[in-house]
Amino acid sequence: MQLVLLGPPGAGKGTQAARLVERFDIPQISTGDILREHVQEGTMLGIRARSYMDRGEYVPDGLVVQMVMDRLDEPDAEKGFILDGFPRTVPQADALERALAEAERPLSAVLQFDIDDDMAVLRLSNRWTCPTCKRTYNLAFKPPLEDGICDFDATPLERRADDDELTVRRRLAVYREQTAPLQRFYAARGLLCVIEAEGKEDVVTERMLAALAGCP
């Protein structure tokens, strides 16, 4: 099963991805992580990527796709993989599609987690995290027992700097602008499965699995 996940911040994509990993025993592949690994280990691809990064330039899409394809050769990805955070643009999607076709491992589906902006803002701007145990709370949906204090270790809770409402709305606008062409690209190929991401995590998981069952 070869999957790409799309979804704005606040859609709960990370949680659902973790459930897919567990259920189907396939890895979630982050291009950020593999890029860092290649650079750290000084592989040929890493050295080439480094030369762009040192000049303050973006690593070309073709090079990132090569790293992804390289990662897919590892035994844990034999049954499939989940790509999250890549592709972000149509040229990247295009390069990925060609490489996957060549490897005879075309995408099975593109899961798009949908949530409206107001709900995403409600989720993100009310999110507080405990710096000690990393538990997260949500003032709107899952508040701590005592205001601003972790239930488990009494540490004062913190909020991410980019989780205030204005910044969240800006992140969402950027996301929509960036992703709309990608959605059209995958919809045109009959790969796009839209999943309503509002509601409880378990309910969203059920919707996701139902959508997957209906995928080619």
Residues engaged in binding Zn ion (CB under 5 A): 130, 132-133, 150, 152-153, 155
**Closest distance to Zn ion from the beta carbon of 158 (Å):** 10
19 is catalytic: no
Q: Which is nearer to Zn ion, 62 or 131 (CB)?
A: 131
**Would residue 171 show up in a list of annotated catalytic residues for this protein?**
yes
Measured in degrees and rounded to the nearest 5, phi and psi for residue 173 equal -65, -45
Q: What is the nearest approach in angstroms of Zn ion to the Cβ of residue 151?
A: 7
Catalytic residue of the set 88, 105, 135, 159: 88
Q: Is 169 a catalytic residue?
A: no
Question: Is 142 considered catalytic here?
Answer: no
Closest by CA position to 96, among listed 76, 77, 72, 123: 72
Shortest CB 155 distance to Zn ion, Å? 5
User: Closest CB to Zn ion among 89 and 155?
Assistant: 155
The β-bridge partners of 156 are: 149
Q: Which of 160, 170, 176, 200 is labelled catalytic?
A: 160
Token pair of 117 as six digits = 């902006």
Of 51 and 132, nearer to Zn ion (C-beta) is 132
Residue with Cβ nearer Zn ion (154 or 174): 154
- ∠ CA 185-121-17, nearest 5°, is 50
Amino acid identity for residue 95 in this structure: A
Angle, helices 31-41/44-54, rounded to nearest 10 degrees? 100
160 is catalytic: yes
Residue of 149, 115, 146, 114 whose CA lies nearest to 133 = 149
| Smallest distance from Zn ion to CB 149, Å | 9
**Catalytic pick among 71, 123, 171, 207:** 171
Q: Between vectors from CA 12 to CA 6 and to CA 14, what angle results, nearest 5°?
A: 70
Which helix (H) or strand (E) covers residue 213, if one does?
helix 201-213
Catalytic residues: 13, 88, 127, 160, 171
